[in-house]
Amino acid sequence: MEQERRRMPRVPFVASAELLEVDTGTRMNAQVSELSLHGCYVDTLNPLPKGTSVYVKIFTEEYFFETPAIVVYSHAHLGMGLAFHDVKPHFVNVLQNWVMAGAGKKG
């Protein structure tokens, strides 16, 4: 079994996401399936390579979250793990509420 290497465990979380690749300006739509305070897993058939800088926006019916991120791993034809950085304080609150709600559903 793969050892958990994340700083924070991820919780199940379903939301739409839009990614902007910083270097090329390429936009892609995806689906978030897991979320933590430090990153998320994005389901997409065409994941970006490890190390790619992106700007990610995550949407639910009521709220949205946006921040710069980096691709920390990529699974061909499945998705990729993103690590958030430089999250603005307002969006930290949104993220905390989503993670707490997700943790409540998990348990």
Q: What is the pLDDT of residues 4-30, one digit of tens each?
A: 455 667 899 999 999 999 999 999 999
Mean pLDDT across 77-83: 97
- Please give the tally of structural domains in the chain: 1
State the pLDDT at residue 8: 66
- H-run or E-run covering 99: helix 89-106
Q: What is the pLDDT of residues 27-72, one digit of tens each?
A: 999 999 999 999 999 999 999 999 999 999 999 999 999 999 999 9
What is the value of pTM for the model shown?
0.89
The answer to whether residue 19 is domain-embedded is yes
The answer to whether residue 3 is domain-embedded is no
The answer to whether residue 77 is domain-embedded is yes
The answer to whether residue 87 is domain-embedded is yes
Alpha carbon separation from 73 to 42, 48, 60, 76, 105 (Å, rounded): 11, 9, 24, 10, 26
Question: The domain spanning residue 84 has which CATH number?
Answer: 2.40.10.220
Domain membership of residue 70 as a residue range: 11-106
SS3 at position 81: strand
